[in-house]
Structure 1
Amino acid sequence: MHVYQATIQDLEGITPLFNAYRVFYKQTSNISAAKAFMKERFIQQDSVIFVAVEDESYVGFTQLYPSFSSVAMKKTFILNDLYVDERVRGKRIGWNLLEAAKDYTYEVGAKGLTLETGHDNFRAQGLYEKFGYQLIEENRFYYFGVDEN
């Protein structure tokens, strides 16, 4: 398995994974919209994407969005997406993608990585906690929706 930072040349391989990720979160499958969204991320260079490839097949990805910590006066990242093809789970692919994200965060001198996952996504919670992520219980997460689609 090979994990590396993706470029627009990886768009065709990432698109089905991104679509499956959205379906996992109860969204309607839409390959063309998924491809357009990911293509825009590459063109705008507003996210950092790592992919895992095994035997020439794309088997997982993670996507980081940059943000900033005003208190620390440093860049930070939101690990917004992590997905591993269900047919190859249990092979440390998610772990290796988390490693790539962590290494990148160090390389660019960022403060850290933040993520969220569903209350019922126990498998992902276990991975994150085993990796060293800490659940921050003293903070509340708020959301203001402008477009509720």
Structure 2
Amino acid sequence: MIRKATLQDLDQLTPLFDQYLVFYKKPSDPEKHKTYLKERLENNEAIVFLAFDEDNIEKAIGFTLIYVTFSSLALNKILILNDLFVDATIRKKGIGEQLILKTVDLAKELDSDLIRLRTAKNNSTAQRLYHKMGFKRDEYLYSYDLVVK
């Protein structure tokens, strides 16, 4: 089962979010991560979908964190699928696909025709899923970041 997360889901979402950040070599800090998620949900700055174990609907096993923004090139809203994570103990069961399909449904609901994401160059497992789901790797535009301190 997949549903939109609420503030009441923070205790289930936070450990998954923490695992996700550790995967990307960030330090584990559940309290800081919970605060970040709480702010995004309270301020309606992000949409989070949670996947639950079919055998234990009280146990969250995956999530997506999505930001809605705009693109001048698309002249439309776009969804940034910023984070997608499924608990390592339950992967290869289609949960990632289901979370992406829920994101596609959201894009249709919001009349957006583009979902954008980034992933690590060495995350071949995720890349296979994204290709399978119809995502195309951008060979035209480069992505740049500027860290401001």
CA–CA distance in structure 1, aligned partners of residues 73 and 28 of structure 2:
39
Q: One-letter code of the match for 1:57?
A: K
Which of residues 97, 114, 121 is equivalent to 1:95?
Answer: 97
Could you tell me which runs of 5 or more consecutive residues in structure 1 were left unpaired when the two chains were aligned: none
Partner residue in 2 for 1:130? 132
Partner residue in 2 for 1:59? 61
Percent pairwise identity: 39
Is it true that 1:74 corresponds to 2:76 in the alignment? yes
CA–CA distance in structure 2, aligned partners of residues 140 and 60 of structure 1:
29
Cα RMSD (Å)? 0.9
Q: One-letter code of the match for 1:9?
A: Q
CA–CA distance in structure 1, aligned partners of residues 130 and 66 of structure 2:
15
1:9-59 deviation line (CA, Å, top 9, x unaligned) = 111110000000000000110010011011001111100110001112110
Q: Report the TM-score when normalising by structure 2.
A: 0.95
Moved over 4 A (4+): none
CA–CA distance in structure 2, aligned partners of residues 72 and 125 of structure 1:
23
CA–CA distance in structure 2, aligned partners of residues 50 and 18 of structure 1:
12
Alignment of 1:105-116 (within 5 A): 105-116=107-118
1:53-97 deviation line (CA, Å, top 9, x unaligned) = 111211000011111012333111110000000000011000000
The residue matched to 1:81 in structure 2 has which SS?
Answer: strand
CA–CA distance in structure 1, aligned partners of residues 95 and 80 of structure 2:
19
Q: One-letter code of the match for 1:36?
A: T
CA–CA distance in structure 2, aligned partners of residues 76 and 69 of structure 1:
6
